[in-house]
Each structure stands twice: as C-alpha cells, then as structure tokens.
Chains A and B, each alone.
Chain A
Amino acid sequence: MSVELSGLRLPLAHFTLEVDATLAGRVTAIFGASGAGKTTLLEIIAGLRAPAAGRVTVGGVPLTDVAARTFVPAERRAVGYVPQEGALFPHLSVRRNLLYGCPAQADAPAGLNLAHVTEVLEIARLEDRVIGTLSGGEKQRVALGRALLASPRLLLLDEPLAGLDAPLRERLLPYLARVRDEFAIPMLYVTHSPDEVMALCDDVLVLDQGRVVRRGPPTALFAATGGPRYELRG
C-alpha cells in the first residue's frame, strides 16, 4: 500500500511545509531535526490537521483533497497514530486502553486480536495494571498495541522512543521490528535517530524546514555523506 502526498502545503510559524512524495516502503523514516515539520506532516496524514493545499491518498483512497473539498475525519481514516509520549488514557486500565479502538474483539481480523498483539509486544501480563504504574518502555508498547488493535491500514509512529534512555531504546527496537515483520502494516516512522532508521526502515525521507531535502534507502543515504557518519545536513 502506498501513501501519496501530492502538493501538500501548510504555512507554519517559521516556514511553509511543502511535501510531494509517494511512500511505498514497509517502514518509511521521516527523518530530520526538531522543528523540521515531521509531526505536522503526520498530523496531516492522520486527519488531525488540514493542509492549505494538496492531497493525501492512502492505498488509492483519497483522505484529504483540498481542491476537491475531501476531508475524511480522523476517526474514519483507519490511520493509527502513536505520539511520542504514547498518550495512554490515564483513567482507563491497560486492557481498556488496548481495546479502545476495537471494543468488539469478535470482529478483530485474524492476527490483530488482543491475545496475539499482547503476546508479540509481551504486555499480556500488564492488562490489569493502571497506566500510572507502567514504566516508560511498557507505556510505549501498550500505546503501540492499542494502535495495532484498531486494525489500521497505515501506522504513524512519532518518535516513539525519543523520550526513553539509550538502554531502553535498545530493548524496544526489536519489538518495533517484530511489529513490522508480524503485522505487515505499512509504517511512517518519525525520528531523528539514525540508529533507529538503520534498524527498522527501508526508505528515508529527510525533512528540513518543511521540505524533503533527500530521499533514498538508509544505507545509501547515510553512507553518502562524508565526515560524521550520520550527519545529514548540507
């Protein structure tokens, strides 16, 4: 399934976001420094923000088309979104968080049911816990599980490991790889960590000041720059 972003434009405080790209990878990294417009781009795809111009098509289905006045609301897009802080609902148990997007488990598609998702993410034992008692890594895995259980056609991950310390990031990367391999849901992965890009992604879009400044597979892209291996600026 491909994500087509054509002629997207949205003026922001310090620059204008302008993106034209077709993303067809299993996991596409949206890479760039803080404030490059990465989160805004995800919000536009998720239907949480409307662009000033342009079109967003996922798997051939137009979700946003400013010219045609098409705007499918976020709740009908089936586009999952995991923000940096996880944004778990603090008043609900882990289980009720997980089932929020899919209350009727009988209707869950094969493979995306509660038992399987919690097994892959190793969170089954947390189901009865209160959100406030979870560690940072547990929270992120629950947030990921909750998004998966809503059976999205596309999953947007906004720096899911950014708030965690290095050893925890190392431990969580394999879970993300398992999600990629197990569920075959295309993912857009916002990050500013080259390690995460190398470990998970097969395509990279480098965003700077709201524009795509580079594009390509991670190996080619990171190897192409001289000097510090991960320096992508310039």
Chain B
Amino acid sequence: MSAETWQITWFTLGVATLSTLAILPLGVALAWLLARRNWRGKSVVETLVALPLVIPPVATGLILLKLLGRRGLVGGWLERTFGWEIVFTWRGVVVATAVMSFPLLVRTARVAFEGVNPRLEQVARTLGAGPWRVFVTITLPLAARGLVAGAMLAFARALGEFGATIMVAGYIPGQTATLSLSIYHLVQLGHDSEALGLLAISVTLAFGAVWLSEFFLRRRAA
C-alpha cells in the first residue's frame, strides 16, 4: 500500500474512532432516558434523533454547513470562543460522521437498556443503592454488550459516511479525505484501479466492525 493509502486509511479510522467516542456519553445517556423515563417532548426528541437515518445525508450535511460555517449560529460561536474552525477541516469530518452515526448508537443502546429487567434495578434500590450506584453496578453491566454493539455499529457507519461529510468538509487531500471521499474522487478522475484498492480496504473494515457488532448482540441474546 502507498503512503497516501495508509494515510487515508488511518485518517478514516481515527475520525471514526473520535466521532464514536464523542457521541458515546450523550448517546448512552439519551438512550437510557428514552428507555427508562417518561418526559415531556420525548417523542419529539425520538423523531429528531432518527432524522439523520431517513433524510438524505447531503441534506443533513447542508444543515450542518449552515450551522457550523463561520457565519453559522454554532460555527461563529465556536470560532469566537475557542478559535475552532469546523467547516472544511478534519473537525468537520468528525462532526458529520458523529451526527450521521448518532441514531444507530442511540437506537441500539436503547434496546439494550430496555432489555434489562427493571425489577433488578428496583431490588438494588431496596438494598440501599442510590440511582447512580444502580446504574453503574446493575444497569450498565447488564446492558454492556448491547452498548458495545451500538458503538461498533456507529463506528461502522462513521467509516463509510459520505454525503454529509462532502458537504461539511469537502475533499481536501491529506486534510479531510476519508476512504469514501477518496473513492469518489478517484472514480471521478477515472483512476478505477486505485479506487478499487480503497474499496477493498473500506469493505474489509466495515465487515469487521459490523461483524463485531453482531457478535456482541448475539452474545447478549444468548
């Protein structure tokens, strides 16, 4: 493999890892709230979370572009406060993949939490455990396999993200070029054989991530 191919592969893996880690705390917390609590506006939040699954990825990308651009509501604030530029940088790739994979994490994690028998949590409370101890010692370990499966699925989604990423980060070699963006670019240039090489890497990585996700889900069901 060429140095450039290595760079693209490592960049893609790094971005997918970062975006998965970034959405994990909020995704797990939200999944727990959806599984275990009834609150006002729950159905609206549920729908909002599912939206990136069904609206075209480029449309999600456009929304993010408008929000995160220098003149955007969030982007302007981030640049003024932290000096962070999001659009057309690696950060933009992370944000786009994070938003696109968030629904998969939340949905899988929610099912994992719903699979924990609430009676166990109730009994733990009668044994003197406060809500946080119940969550850490009972709910989390019993839902762990499902949570890992959800994280792997989100990681797999992040590996292959294209539509939102191209809108937010564009194709900049060495800076925002992921596997999927590079495949598209190479095909556009007519370099099909190089594109096929990246395709093989992409399929292998995605296969590994989805297989691991299924592995954890199967073990949970067993």
How many chain B residues touch A (CB < 8 A): the figure is: 16
Interface size class of A (residues with CB under 8 A): 20 to 34
Could you tell me if B126 and A81 are in contact, using CB atoms closer than 8 angstroms? yes
Excluding A74-B126, A83-B123, 7 further A-B contacts by CB distance (< 8 Å) are A43-B122, A47-B126, A75-B127, A79-B126, A80-B127, A87-B123, A100-B137
Q: Which of B126, B130, B141, B142 contacts A46 (CB 8 A)?
A: B126
Which A residues lie at the B interface, using CB under 8 A?
43, 46-48, 73-83, 85, 87, 89-91, 100-102, 146-147, 150
Is the CB–CB distance between B117 and A75 below 8 Å?
no
Q: Is B138 an interface residue (CB 8 A)?
A: yes
Main SS at interface, chain B: helix
Bound form: Cα–Cα A46–B128 in Å:
11
Q: Which residues of chain A come closer than 8 Å to B125, judged between CB atoms?
A: 47-48, 73-75
CA distance A174 to B146 in the complex (A): 42
- The docked-state distance in angstroms from the alpha carbon of A46 to that of B124 is 12
How many contacts between A and B, using CB within 8 angstroms? 58
Q: List 10 A-B contacts (CB under 8 A).
A: A74-B122, A75-B129, A75-B130, A77-B126, A85-B119, A87-B120, A87-B123, A89-B120, A90-B142, A101-B127
CB pair A80–B126 under 8 Å, yes or no, is yes
CA distance A85 to B118 in the complex (A): 13
B131–chain A nearest beta-carbon distance, Å: 8
Query: 3 shortest A-B CB distances, which residue pairs?
Result: A101-B127, A74-B125, A81-B126
Q: How far is the CA of A117 from the CA of B119 in the complex (A)?
A: 23
Question: Which one, A47, A83, A100, contacts B127 given CB within 8 A?
Answer: A100
User: Which of chain B's residues have a CB closer than 8 A to the CB of A100?
Assistant: 124, 127, 129, 137
> Considering the chains assembled together, what is the distance between the CA atoms of A100 and B127 in angstroms?
7
- Chain B residues whose CB sits within 8 angstroms of the CB of A83 once the complex forms: 119, 122-123
Q: How far is the CB of A96 from chain B (nearest CB, A)?
A: 9
